[in-house]
Amino acid sequence: MPTVEEASSPTVVLESPDIGALESQENSPPKQHPEGLMSEGGEETSSTTATAAMKLEDATSSPDYGGDSPKTIIRRNRPGTKLADFYQWPDLALEDMDTTLAVQQYIQQVIRRNPTDVEEILSMPANQDEGVWKYEHLRQFCMELNSLAVNLQCECTADTCTQMTATDQWIFLCAAHKQPRECSAIDYTRHTLDGAACLLNSNKYFPSRVDIKEQSIAKLPSTCRRVYRIFSHAYFHHRPIFDSFEDQTSLCRRFTVFVLKYNLMSPENLIVPIPGVHTPPTVQGSDYKPGETDA
């Protein structure tokens, strides 16, 4: 059984006195020492000894912070942190975030503050690169959509939803195969999120998180179209799950405002109604026919 070793006592080194110095001290008047530096017996102690004693006391009485100062703000959830205590650190301005992940951290910070404040979440800070801003938001959408996918699994299975549909008019083909073909809705969801993760983490197209080329930004609209279909299937075929998730996150509302703001999707492909933001065209009037795909 491991034991806690006691700290060893500080070693005191005694040097041989200088005889000449001692004689000089005997003939000189006593020195005035600062007040308060007295030993328990009432004798004065040298300032050097007192300072060393205070330093030793500070070192032995201070708690062990594992190398972190008590005043240091640790911006991470340590192992064992309760869910109610997650993210308990003060907000930072984007310009004060000294990391290549600053934009992602800033977006997540604003979302935690109020996930329903879509306008604030999507308000791009001054001097921020628009391409990086769009890229980081799409990454965040995909991460949060994984939670919706988990919720759908309780009732959306290969047996209950054999096709990826949104109403009877919309059937989506999965682009994760050599030739686009039909997938069950839950498999389509998994394949789409996996494909989006592979693209957005690709060193070929997105080697940097601070500088993104226009050729790479051009790939974002197709990813937006595909991940949006997860919203549409959940809305039309698993409405209670969709409503519960949307009440907590406002994710579909935020996504709709996002793609309209940056022209990443055409309005006619947005078939989930968002009050105050978007009213979709009637499904019967759409030119999109069952079985077609723009993958």
Residue 230, pLDDT > 90, answer yes
Known binding residue 238? Answer is yes
How many alpha carbons fall within 13 Å on the CB side of residue 124?
A: 15
Determine the pLDDT at residue 90.
Answer: 75
- 120 part of a folded domain: yes
What is the average pLDDT value for the chain, to the nearest integer? 78
Domain extent at residue 243: 94-269
What is the mean pLDDT of the segment spanning 165-177? Answer: 88
- 63 part of a folded domain: no
- 252 part of a folded domain: yes
Determine the pLDDT at residue 168.
Answer: 81
Instruction: Tell if the pTM clears 0.85, that is, is over it.
Output: no
What's the CATH code of the domain at 202? 1.20.140.30
Which one has a higher pLDDT value, 42 or 91?
Answer: 91
- 8 part of a folded domain: no
Count of domains forming the chain: 1
Which one has a higher pLDDT value, 67 or 239?
Answer: 239
How far is Cα 94 from Cα 243, in angstroms, rounded to an integer? 32
Known binding residue 156? Answer is yes
- 48 part of a folded domain: no
- 157 part of a folded domain: yes
Query: How sure is the predictor about 95, in pLDDT bands with cuts at 50, 70 and 90?
Result: confident
Known binding residue 224? Answer is no
The 10s digit of each residue's pLDDT in 256-267 is 999 999 999 999
Known binding residue 177? Answer is no
- 188 part of a folded domain: yes
Which one has a higher pLDDT value, 57 or 237?
Answer: 237
What is the mean pLDDT of the segment spanning 2-18? Answer: 43
- 16 part of a folded domain: no
